Chain A
Amino acid sequence: MKLLDKTKQTYIIYSIIIFIVSSITIYFTLKKIISKKQDERLEFYKELIARKIKYENPLPIFEVDDYKSDSLVKDTLYFKDTLFYMVVNGVEKHEKYRQLTSIENLPGKTVKIITRDSLVKNQDFILIITISVAIVILLLMITVYFVNTITMRNAWDPFNKNLEILKSFSVENNQPIYLKDTNIDEFKELNTSLEKLTKKINSDYSNLKEFTENASHEMQTPLAIMQSKAEMLMQSEDLSRKNLQQIKAIYLAAQRLSKLNKTLLLLAKIDNQQYKNKETIDINEAVERQLEIFEDFIDNKKLELNKKSTLNTKIEANPMLFDMIISNLISNAIKHNIVHGNIDILTTDLFISISNSGDQPKLNSTTLFERFKKESNASNSFGLGLAIVKKICDNYHWKINHSFIENQHNITIYF
């Protein structure tokens, strides 16, 4: 979950717990204190009365009856809560009262003094105070919550922005990363580390690319020597047929290696954004052009060609890369086809679809596009054709997929 949500959540849970606990504590503490005070007061009044009786002072209102007790009773104090019946404004009420019953042994007489005080008052009082305090605590907590949230958000804002910047970092773009400034030390440190890290990544990647490209180019020259010497040897009239065949094998191997080299280099270049420029391409035209090149191959296998297209088939892409896609797809459609098979091409400006008859493929529809994966090990191909197509599609964010249904291979590219 998000950091802010986590802290909010924790804060809220603890706030609620503290709030409840403190409210309850206040209530009961207040109640206890007030009760105690009340009892003290009741006792005080009892003393007052007792003293008044003792010193024969007139008592207000109350009658003093001789308390006749059966036995000699000690001084006792006896508190209790009781219901006191009274009539107020013609309404009968039973109110809660705190009552002190005490038996005083005074010189000459024994008296029972009962003092009472309303509890209702206290109750209300306690409740009011508790509620007031509770409200204050609640307000405090809410305020702290919002202040906290805003502070946190502001503190984390540069971090979040930098996170977005990081997400869009791609080593292939070879752009340095510019992180937002912050005055929070930890984030400052993080920024510095990230900037250093990305710089190193970019630099390492550049070096690696340069090395790969140079290595590739360097390889071409010795391969050229091998090929040309082999070709010269093949012209020789002094060599035996067997020798000539061996030389031909060397020649072919050198050629193959060179092609492999060139293809891998191509993949690297596409990665490198070296085919950046785009033009408006007519898909149909591109398809027609490639079909013409492969005309002989199609005729050789006696394939039936079906072309369908909508009127408007234009797209924005690099013409060389697009030609590579079409060329690869058509040559695959020819290569993996059966004699007297079919090739169906459907082009619209939203997708292009090529279907061809063929045998059950060994590779599944995903592995098909991986590098060096090919149908048969005996074949001369490198298994890079579809990898190139996929790379170009990825480059343009086009979706490509393959399916094999009812002996038909189907490859569709969605633009």
Chain B
Amino acid sequence: MKILIVEDEKELLKTTCKYLKKEEFICEKAETYFDAEDKIISYDYDIVILDINLPDGNGLDLLKLIKKNKAETGVLIVSAKDSLDDKLKGLDLGADDYITKPFHLAELNSRVNSLIRRRKFKGNENIVFNEIEIDPKAKTIHANNVPLDLTKKEYYLLLYLVTNKNRVLTKEGIAEHLWGDNIDMVDNFDFIYTHMRNLRKKLKETGAKDYLNTIYGLGYKFGETE
């Protein structure tokens, strides 16, 4: 998958690229409007992550450009402004998703993967990780071909973990993914521990390996233990 990241802040650009590269994406960078315009016209990308607050031009114009010439490309808008108007305008102009800075890299990753599934595979392709198979269309998960009886939150949690496999995920990041911005009003995320425990139990019942690793002091990591 080829991704173009349009972001004027160098450090952010570097970090995002590095993170996504690990996912086996090919990452291209563009720091200015004109650089981005150039790249968009010359090459084809699967996904463009677009910062709309660029110093030398309006990111929304780039969005229009992409929609006009490369309609197959999925666009994820990034903005420092949590403005409803910007959001609506962006989505109206054809953006697929909208995320505000600052964001968890894991969250960005989730959204990008989600976007790819929607666009490239029309939501049809199943996500497979070893013995775990996720059907995003039916919203069901099978482990060792045994269907898991999951609550809505547990489904999204496992999907998130699998998408961000082999990454250290913080409790805060997980909570924000599942509950949105409201969670900052609650003091502790201990109940995430409960969810994880339930998930672990259900997976174990199907005979699947335990991929849920607790990283002390940081959070969790889903993947093969070394």
Contact = CB atoms under 8 A, between A and B. Distances in A.
A220 interface: yes
B9 A221 contact: yes
A227 B15 CA distance: 10
Nearest to A258: B102
A265 B186 contact: no
Interface string A375-415: 00001110001000000000000000000000000000000
A378 B138 CA distance: 43
B172 A255 contact: yes
A223 interface: yes
In the complex, which range does the number of interface residues on chain B fall in? 35 or more
A385 B181 CA distance: 13
B80 A335 contact: no
Given A224-B103, A380-B187, A241 B12 contact: no
B186 A297 contact: yes
Interface string A257-269: 0110010010000
Contact of B9 (A224, A241, A297): A224
Interface in B84-108: 84, 100-106
Contacts of B103: 224, 227-228
B185 A220 contact: no
A156 interface: no
Contacts of A350: none
Among A290, A300, A335, max chain B CB count under 10 A is at A300
Interface residues of A, number: 45
A244 B185 contact: no
Given A224-B102, A228-B12, A335-B187, A244 B218 contact: yes
Contacts of B11: 225, 229
Contacts of A365: none
Interface stretch (A56-64, A139-147, A160-168, A326-334): A326-334
A95 interface: no
A251 interface: yes
**Most chain-B Cβ atoms within 10 A of its Cβ — which of A217, A231, A385?**
A231
A259 B184 contact: yes
B102 A228 contact: yes
B80 A262 contact: no
* Chain A, interface SS category: helix
A88 interface: no
Contact of A220 (B101, B184, B186, B194): B101
Given A220-B102, A248-B217, A255-B102, A332 B179 contact: no
A335 B217 contact: no
Contacts of A262: 82
Contact of B16 (A223, A228, A254): A228
A13 B153 CA distance: 83
A220 B216 CA distance: 29
A20 interface: no
B147 to A, nearest CB: 23
A328 B218 contact: no
A225 B179 contact: no
B172 A224 contact: no
A331 B82 CA distance: 22
Interface in A302-339: 320, 327-328, 331-332, 334-335
A221 B80 contact: yes
Contacts of B195: 296
A252 interface: yes
B179 A293 contact: yes
B201 interface: no
Contact of A232 (B19, B172, B180): B19
Nearest to A227: B102
Contacts of B19: 228, 231-232
Contact of B170 (A217, A229, A248, A334): A248
A220 B80 contact: yes
Greatest chain B CB density within 10 A among A248, A259, A320, A334 is at A248
For B81, B101, B194, the residue with the greatest tally of chain A CB atoms inside 10 Å of its CB is B101
Contacts of A300: 190-191, 194
Contacts of A296: 153, 179, 191, 195
Nearest to B103: A224
Contact of A225 (B9, B216, B218): B9
B119 interface: no
Contact of B105 (A226, A231, A320, A380): A231
A294 interface: yes
Contacts of A71: none
A380 B195 CA distance: 22
A281 interface: no
Interface of A: 217-218, 220-221, 223-229, 231-232, 234-235, 241, 244-245, 248, 251-252, 254-255, 258-259, 262, 265, 290, 293-294, 296-297, 299-300, 320, 327-328, 331-332, 334-335, 379-381, 385
Interface of B: 9, 11-12, 15-16, 18-19, 53, 80-82, 84, 100-106, 153, 167-168, 170, 172-173, 179-180, 182, 184-187, 190-191, 194-195, 215-219
15 contacts: A217-B81, A220-B80, A221-B80, A224-B9, A227-B102, A231-B106, A231-B170, A232-B18, A234-B218, A235-B168, A251-B170, A255-B102, A300-B194, A328-B185, A380-B187
Question: 4 closest pairs, A vs B, by CB?
Answer: A224-B102, A331-B185, A220-B80, A224-B101
